[in-house]
Amino acid sequence: MNACSLFVQLVQRLHNYEVASVLWVLLKEEADVKEYGMTAGKMADEHLCQTVSESTVRRAIDRLAGAGFISVRVHKNTKTLVSVNRDAVLELLRKRLPERLPAVSKKEFDFLDAWNSDLGSQMAEVDA
């Protein structure tokens, strides 16, 4: 497994891109090992490159906490302290997914060949 595979698995299992993104960032920042100090604004701007709004990050934090994947300690006018429940996330990832789902499919099809060819030609142009 690598970071990209983990993200795809989280999206597939949580059925929500934003929630998976926030959980992935928390795992990347090792919040499963030690409490992580964060603000929703910093996560939205710096970690998620403004692809997710600050309010959406807050909602994702609430959803993750409600589902038992994280615990949150809020300090007024300072960072929010977040811990990831590693056991809960590992339990989520242990559940088997049907092999037809995009996250686990090994299906090969023509578009993939065209995309790989296009990527190869783009890389050749960069190298030239």
Interval 88-117: pLDDT, tens:
999 999 999 999 998 889 999 999 999 999
Which CATH architecture group holds 3-97?
Answer: Orthogonal Bundle (1.10)
The whole-model pTM stands at 0.88
Domain boundaries, the chain: 3-97
| pLDDT score for 76 | 78
- The pLDDT of residue 128 is above 70: no
Q: Which two tokens stand for residue 74?
A: 């809020």
- The pLDDT of residue 43 is above 90: yes
- Is residue 31 within 8 Å of 86, Cβ to Cβ? no
